A and B are shown apart, each in its own frame.
Chain A
Amino acid sequence: MAAIEMKHIIKKYGDGFPAVNDVSIDIADGEFVILVGPSGCGKSTLLRMIVGLEDITDGDMIINGQRVNEKAPRDRNLSMVFQNYALYPHLTVYENIAFPLRLSKTPDADIDKRVREASTLLELDDHLERKPANLSGGQRQRVAMGRAIVRQADAFLFDEPLSNLDAKLRGQMRTEISRLQRRLGITTVYVTHDQTEAMTLGDRVAVMKKGILQQIASPRELYEQPVNLFVAGFIGSPPMNFLPAEVRGDGKLQTPLGPIALTTDLQRQAVQGHDVLLMGVRPEAFEDAKLVDPDKRDKGDVFNAQVDVTEWLGNEQYAYIPFEASAEIRDQLRDLSRELDSDQLRTQLIIAIDSTSRIRAGRTADIWVDTRRMHLFDPKTGVNLTRDEQAGARLTAEVEEERREEMEEARNMPLGEAPDVQGSSSGDGSVGARDGAGSRSSGTQEAGSRRV
């Protein structure tokens, strides 16, 4: 049990390049925090600094109120699951799990009890006498986790633990990790580049880019109130749409789709002093105009556009609408997609429409857009001008309570019985990325409060 505080952590390598630049994060006792970002953003380096495998160039790393910058990994009492598991090939599964206990000179009877507890929890009982070389990827992963939980560590650190597994197993292990964390109630820091993992597992998610912390908040706050263009584009799949918007005198924005009215006060404030903005709209803020309730229809705007391609997925439908943008905007969007590790070739709108919609490729259609959920970004700095700080903080604070309750529940749960992780998704249905994050389970609901 431990709280981890990072204060202005800086990591510079020999050539002076800051891999991690002035990152401050407070992690509460029992919290599940995700470090996420595209490759090379410094998330793994930060994790390795927490555990002590990487020197800290500057700043304070405080675990349980004690500065640990100069402490060796073994004196920090943290346990870590490595990306490639790092099992000891010359030892059996049993001895692998027992390894930390043997080092701490635990009595044999105690070791046996705890190893068997861990192996039961992870369903490894049948494999205890086997060598890691003879195990499947998922089993090795579980052995690595067993080695981490067998010791009463102050915190768990995961370095992309699921990236070596296939998609199906990854889903299973994800719920497994989440269940385990809630059950044990141990502070956890988890590095991933997979945003589904980030959204589903984390109480709070720290988004990093090039060594700089962009935003740390609950997944829902990241999704609904991103601080800048990068976070907005990184969180959500399909990603947020970005459109150039010229500010007109009459309270409207001129976009490639046509004029769009500003609806909220925040939006009207945001356009002050700007000529051109980047408009960001989530795919699900659009809808086939024919299928929108008349009273709801007035809250947004309708435009007419030529649909290029549609994708019908059963429960939902995506439509692609290409648009023209100036060379400058195009370059900027391309830079952004490069930063996000994706390579978007054309400027197009991806919209999610109801699966019953009759909109087909090649035709023009009336599309409704919920302008209340539109964000405006400064095209130069990328700052979100329409971010509602209070609404964001509220979102994060709300779920901090939920986390507490869940941990209470999970702790009262007898061993071997899983909490209901497949529970119904709460919220208004507009939450979460569509590739699975949308069906976020109640057992892994985001929680935590903004502390940065």
Chain B
Amino acid sequence: MNTSRKGQVGWIIGAILIMFYALLPVAWILSLSFKAGDDINNQKFWPTNWSFENYDIVFSSDLFTTALRNSVGISLIATFISVVLAMLAAYAVARLEFPGKSLILGVALAITVFPIIAIATPLFNLWRTIGLYDTWLGLIIPYLSFSLPLSIYVLSAFFREIPWEMEQAAQVDGATAWQAFRKVIVPLAAPGVFTAAILTFFAIWNDFIFGITLTSSEAARPVPAALAFFSGASQFAQPTAPIAAASVVVTIPVIILVLAFQQKIVAGLTNGAVKG
């Protein structure tokens, strides 16, 4: 009893330390974003006067709002395409025996360890030649190629968990392979689909390298890259506080997404499918 309580206390202290370590920078950015004008030099953690001035600056700047629109659009489209493709690929990997299956998995794994920066320059030249430079599509394509392997791995693990009998039962009940996939497999793999979607969305939302190398104007530049071009209220002020405010704005959708999907990522959905 005594030892377990001791252990519990240890766990709680550990958890607090880790949360403090992880959340301190977030709190810092949050407090910075509320410091108006020269208040960032107040030598204190909290602002002397809480002000929304930086948020005004951020939202009145075309640079940020168009970048936000680009980010949201590109991330959603790329995530959607990536998850749909990954679902089909993962299903094939999990269910079918075909020549080159291990090769596909191997290449997928290789792509995830490939340094992104290594292909940034070749892509830059290639995209400029074929006219994809500084377009949404020009960003979506490389995002897809880097997010697919992870999604395929996550989803094929989920598909493998679903008993074969589910599909066979559906087929006997009169479903085509596609109907069995859509009406039985996908709903059962929903937790996996949401997990893959979130991971993919984060990776794309936070990407900086492609964002900065493959864009040159507001036509396609996403938020992380746009922040680098940010200027403050005047040309001469360091835009630290507005950048902090922009960062907070960019973080909010991510937090909302996590909270929204968290409820969907409920394992144990397959309970009761077979005799438990």
Listed in ascending order, the chain A residues whose CB lies under 8 Å from chain B are 51-53, 72-74, 77-80, 82, 84-90, 99-100, 103-104, 131-135, 137, 140, 147, 151, 164
B116 within 8 A of A: no
Closest to A51 in B: B172
A133 to B266, CA, bound (A): 15
Flag if B273 contacts A88 (CB, 8 Å).
Answer: yes
The listed residue with most B CB atoms (<10 A of its CB), out of A89, A131, A134, is A89
A318 to B170, CA, bound (A): 49
- A sample of 6 more A-B contacts (CB under 8 A), given A73-B171, A84-B165, A88-B170, is A84-B275, A86-B274, A88-B273, A89-B269, A99-B173, A151-B174
A73 to B173, CA, bound (A): 8
A-B contact pairs, 23 of them (CB 8 A): A53-B168, A74-B171, A74-B174, A79-B173, A84-B165, A86-B273, A87-B169, A87-B272, A87-B273, A88-B166, A88-B170, A89-B269, A90-B188, A90-B269, A99-B170, A100-B173, A100-B174, A104-B174, A133-B271, A137-B275, A140-B272, A147-B173, A164-B275
A135 to B173, CA, bound (A): 21
Task: Give B217-276 interface residues, CB cut-off 8 Å to A.
Answer: 269-276
Which residues of chain B are near A53, meaning CB under 8 Å?
Answer: 168, 171-172
Flag if B165 contacts A82 (CB, 8 Å).
Answer: yes
Chain A proximity mask over B173-184: 1 for CB below 8 Å, otherwise 0: 111100100011
Closest to A102 in B: B183
A140 to B169, CA, bound (A): 14
Closest to B268 in A: A133
B187 within 8 A of A: yes
Which residues of chain A are near B190, meaning CB under 8 Å?
Answer: 90
A164 to B184, CA, bound (A): 23
A73 to B165, CA, bound (A): 13
Closest to B190 in A: A90
Flag if A72 contacts B179 (CB, 8 Å).
Answer: no
Closest to B176 in A: A74
Which residues of chain B are near A52, meaning CB under 8 Å?
Answer: 171-172
Which residues of chain B are near A82, meaning CB under 8 Å?
Answer: 165, 168-169
Listed in ascending order, the chain B residues whose CB lies under 8 Å from chain A are 163, 165-166, 168-176, 179, 183-184, 187-188, 190, 269-276
The listed residue with most A CB atoms (<10 A of its CB), out of B172, B175, B190, B269, is B172
Closest to B187 in A: A90
A133 to B175, CA, bound (A): 23
Which residues of chain B are near A72, meaning CB under 8 Å?
Answer: 171, 176
A164 to B168, CA, bound (A): 19
Which residues of chain B are near A78, meaning CB under 8 Å?
Answer: 172
Flag if A86 contacts B171 (CB, 8 Å).
Answer: no
Flag if B173 contacts A84 (CB, 8 Å).
Answer: no
Closest to B168 in A: A53
Which residues of chain A are near B273, meaning CB under 8 Å?
Answer: 86-89, 132
Which residues of chain B are near A73, meaning CB under 8 Å?
Answer: 168, 171-172
Closest to B184 in A: A88
Closest to B270 in A: A89
Which residues of chain A are near B163, meaning CB under 8 Å?
Answer: 84, 86
A133 to B269, CA, bound (A): 9
Closest to A130 in B: B272
A103 to B274, CA, bound (A): 22
Which residues of chain A are near B174, meaning CB under 8 Å?
Answer: 74, 77, 100, 103-104, 151
Flag if A103 contacts B272 (CB, 8 Å).
Answer: no
A88 to B187, CA, bound (A): 10
Flag if B272 contacts A134 (CB, 8 Å).
Answer: yes
Which residues of chain A are near B172, meaning CB under 8 Å?
Answer: 51-53, 73-74, 78-80
What 10 A-B pairs come out closest when comparing CB atoms? A133-B272, A86-B165, A86-B169, A84-B274, A100-B173, A132-B272, A89-B273, A73-B171, A103-B174, A133-B271
Which residues of chain B are near A151, meaning CB under 8 Å?
Answer: 173-174
Which residues of chain B are near A147, meaning CB under 8 Å?
Answer: 169, 173
- For the complex formed, measure the closest distance between the CB of B85 and the CB atoms of chain A, giving whole angstroms: 23
A74 to B171, CA, bound (A): 6
Closest to B173 in A: A100
Which residues of chain B are near A135, meaning CB under 8 Å?
Answer: 272
- For the complex formed, measure the closest distance between the CB of B32 and the CB atoms of chain A, giving whole angstroms: 46
A264 to B81, CA, bound (A): 80
The listed residue with most B CB atoms (<10 A of its CB), out of A51, A74, A140, is A74
Quick one: which of A89, A90, A103 contacts B173, CB cutoff 8 A? A103
Flag if B272 contacts A89 (CB, 8 Å).
Answer: yes
Closest to A14 in B: B97
Which residues of chain A are near B270, meaning CB under 8 Å?
Answer: 89
Closest to A81 in B: B169
Flag if B168 contacts A133 (CB, 8 Å).
Answer: no
The listed residue with most A CB atoms (<10 A of its CB), out of B173, B184, B275, is B173
A90 to B183, CA, bound (A): 10
Flag if B276 contacts A133 (CB, 8 Å).
Answer: yes
A429 to B89, CA, bound (A): 62
Flag if A85 contacts B275 (CB, 8 Å).
Answer: yes
